[in-house]
Amino acid sequence: MHIICDIFSGKILYRDNPSCGFSEDVSIKFDDEQTFCIANDTCPIVYWKEKNKYIRLREDEKTQLYNLLEPYGFRFPCV
């Protein structure tokens, strides 16, 4: 999914301890090497598991991501 890669690319990775909640049950995996866990609530944050860092999305990017994932059974919030 190139659109999802475009949403994540160019973002600054940062360390944090957000209270959003993340799970591999609500994640996107690329090539079994990159796991991006999407915040379970509706925070515009994605956790990149292998790098142990976070990515902040703009609200319009978060909406676009949700719309892309909805046909695959993703519903937010999912807490």
Flag whether pLDDT at 79 surpasses 70. Answer: no
CA distance 77 to 28: 16
Evaluate if residue 63 carries a pLDDT over 80. Answer: yes
Report the C-alpha gap between 79 and 75 in whole angstroms: 10
Q: What is the pLDDT of residues 3-61, one digit of tens each?
A: 898 999 899 999 999 888 899 999 999 988 899 999 999 899 999 999 999 999 999 99
Model pTM score: 0.90
Q: How do the domains of the chain map onto residue ranges?
A: 2-72
54 neighbors 43 (Cβ within 8 angstroms)? no
